[in-house]
Amino acid sequence: GDSVTQMEGPVTLSEEAFLTINCTYTATGYPSLFWYVQYPGEGLQLLLKATKADDKGSNKGFEATYRKETTSFHLEKGSVQVSDSAVYFCALGGSSGGSNYKLTFGKGTLLTVNP
Amino acid sequence: DARVTQTPRHKVTEMGQEVTMRCQPILGHNTVFWYRQTMMQGLELLAYFRNRAPLDDSGMPKDRFSAEMPDATLATLKIQPSEPRDSAVYFCASGLVLSSYNEQFFGPGTRLTVL
């Protein structure tokens, strides 16, 4: 079945540092890939997405490229801010055709950015 | 600004009591998901619906949990009787299934504490 593996946290960085959170996946078809972010006390919000190989999703300075050859979707940001402190979830969906509406989530990575 | 709403936001109850959580999906969305989030287990999919029909509730303890969609604007998750191990944050998410990807929009969650 489908699965997502993302790097274990927590990750602690200083403001303006470079961020990478690794995510790899296993899927039988051609999934869509997502990064969701969860701020303290809130629900998950879509951060960015990519629907096919070589697509790059980007939002709020974050980027991730759908790499089919390495089955990866690593999240990057060049300069993190304190306000980026949150839990980040990698997810995949829709790899088994039109009847699969589920998203498969990774376990989440807690990012803390210090001033 | 369309969003998923959930009520109540917080619920404290005693073991053995019935708990009902409600969700209003985004108007026009045709899929609804219930998730449970705990520190130990992370994010777990409990059940999901498409066009109000239950498609998968394999993640739900059948003896005490039930999920329904009485109409397109309301989804409910009921626990009867509740137990301390049910303490968690319960999220509802809705989505509009498209051919290319299946993005989900999350509500703010119901934080349940069972004493």
- Note whether B43 contacts A105, CB cutoff 8 Å: yes
Set of chain B residues whose Cβ sits within 8 Å of the Cβ of A98: 97, 99
Reduced to 3 states (helix: H, G, I; strand: E, B; else coil), residue B53 is strand
At residue A58, the pLDDT reads 97
Question: Mean pLDDT across the stretch B26-36?
Answer: 93
Torsion sign, CA atoms B30, B36, B37, B42: negative
Residue A2: what pLDDT? 84
pLDDT digits (tens, 9 = 90+) for B14-29: 999 999 999 999 999 9
> What does the CA dihedral B77, B78, B79, B81 come to, rounded to 10 degrees?
180
Q: Are B35 and B93 in contact (CB under 8 A)?
A: yes
pLDDT greater than 90 at residue A81: yes
Tell me: the pLDDT tens digits for A36-71?
999 998 999 999 999 889 999 999 999 999 999 999
What's the CA gap between B102 and A22, in Å, rounded?
22
Q: What is the dihedral of CA B84, B86, B88, B89, to 10 degrees?
A: -140
Q: Tell whether the model's pLDDT for residue A13 goes beyond 90.
A: yes
Higher pLDDT, A57 or A97: A57
- Better pLDDT: B50 or B21: B21
pLDDT at B57 over 80: yes
Range with the lowest mean pLDDT among A14-23, A83-92, B47-56? Answer: B47-56
Q: How confident is the model at residue A1 (pLDDT cuts 50, 70, 90)?
A: confident
Find chain B residues with C-beta within 8 A of A46's C-beta: 103-105
Residues 6+ apart with CB under 8 A from B88: B36, B37, B38, B112
pLDDT of residue A99: 54
Beta strand A109-114 pairing with A11-14: parallel
Q: State the nearest Cα–Cα gap between A100 and chain B, in angstroms.
A: 9
Average pLDDT, chain B: 91
Q: How far apart are CA A12 and CA A115, in angstroms?
A: 11
* pLDDT over 70 percentage in chain A: 94
Q: What is the mean pLDDT of chain A?
A: 91
Q: Which residues of A touch B45 (CB under 8 A)?
A: 102
- Measured distance CA(A78)–CA(A19) in Å, rounded: 6
Is there a contact between B43 and A108 if contact means CB atoms under 8 Å apart? Answer: yes
Has residue A100 got a pLDDT over 70? Answer: no
Q: Would you state the pLDDT for residue B111?
A: 97
pLDDT digits (tens, 9 = 90+) for B67-101: 999 999 999 999 999 999 999 999 999 988 765 56
Q: Is the pLDDT of residue A96 over 60?
A: no
